[in-house]
């Protein structure tokens, strides 16, 4: 059996009882190590908690060399551990499809992830639209395909969860070109950098899917003991020191319920200014008032 097991957001003990029971009986254990990290637990702590060795699975192993993971999964129990929930990243869906094509039995054990825990910032999960990912810009690569998704969410009044990029076990272009297995230090995008990139693309596009005054909420270290929230405009948050990773951001939709706003005000430096920004933003993409047809013109 191949088990895909969610670990939750932060601690070794965030795993479910059923997930831990499965790990205990597995012959091999892999920890996916490139879409997220377990903030309050090291590899050594996980191995001590499970009482078994754990192999780190980088992007190359999961996306290109997954045969190592799937090997003998029809004869032995193999665990593939994912921070958050197993289906928080599309690459894990691909792993399941590969296993099924080989006739391997698969069982998924779910857990909390940013996709549902984001509700702790006070915004209602029912009011979220498409989730987008913000990657690190480079001098020659500044992708903005996510912009249209934010625009679509905002047009129908929905909030947008923005997941911030992390770089773990990444090679520089030079080292990759020269075939040198030298990896860059881990990098984690901050709230300020994300907001700066948002503002840059809006300035380039100029179609106002959002503006510098659009309200947003910064989420830092979700699910950990140092979890924090900060609400303000995108421009304000572009100057916010969000501290240690991991981070995510929510861009508010124009339909902000009064209970959502009351909750968000608790995280605002200037409650009055944030409330004014939300009220102004609610005019954004507001549907035009219905006008009855002119019967004389129809005739």
Enumerate the known binding-site residues for S-adenosyl-L-methionine: 9, 85, 88, 113-114, 164, 222, 247
Sign of CA dihedral 41, 46, 48, 50: positive
Query: Collapsing DSSP states into helix, strand and coil, what is residue 110?
Result: coil
Q: Which 8-state DSSP code applies to residue 270?
A: S
Short-list 102, 198, 95, 100, CA closest to 150 = 198
β-sheet with 247-251: strand ranges across: 132-134, 160-164, 247-251, 215-220, 228-233
* Tokens read off for 19: 């997930």
List the strands of the sheet with 28-32, edge to edge: 55-57, 28-32, 78-82, 2-6, 106-109
Contact 62, 88 (CB under 8 A): no
């Amino acid at each position: 059996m191949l088990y895909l097991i969610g670990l939750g957001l932060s601690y070794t003990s965030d795993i479910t009882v059923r997930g831990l029971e499965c790990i205990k009986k597995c012959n091999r254990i892999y920890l996916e190590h490139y879409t997220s990290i377990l903030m309050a637990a090291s590899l050594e702590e996980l191995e001590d908690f499970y009482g078994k060795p754990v192999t780190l699975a980088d992007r190359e192993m999961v996306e290109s060399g997954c045969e190592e993971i799937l090997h003998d999964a029809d004869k032995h129990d193999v665990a593939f551990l994912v921070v958050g929930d197993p289906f928080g990243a599309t690459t894990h869906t691909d792993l399941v499809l590969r296993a099924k094509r080989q006739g391997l039995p698969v069982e998924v054990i779910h857990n909390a992830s940013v996709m549902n825990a984001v509700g702790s910032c006070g915004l209602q999960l029912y009011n979220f639209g498409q989730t987008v990912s913000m990657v690190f810009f480079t001098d020659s690569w500044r992708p903005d395909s996510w912009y249209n998704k934010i625009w679509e969410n905002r047009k129908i009044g929905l909030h947008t969860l923005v997941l911030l990029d992390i770089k773990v076990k990444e090679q520089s272009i030079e080292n990759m070109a020269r075939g040198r297995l030298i990896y860059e230090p881990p990098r984690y995008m901050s709230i300020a950098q994300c907001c700066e990139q948002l503002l840059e693309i809006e300035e380039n596009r100029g179609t106002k899917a959002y503006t510098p005054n659009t309200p947003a909420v910064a989420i830092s270290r979700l699910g950990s003991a140092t979890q924090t929230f900060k609400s303000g405009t995108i421009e304000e948050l572009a100057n916010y020191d969000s501290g240690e990773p991991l981070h995510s951001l929510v861009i508010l939709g124009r339909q902000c319920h009064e209970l959502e706003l009351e909750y968000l005000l608790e995280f605002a430096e200037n409650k009055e200014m944030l409330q004014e920004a939300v009220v102004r933003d609610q005019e954004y993409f507001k549907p035009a008032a219905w006008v009855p047809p002119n019967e004389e013109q129809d005739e």
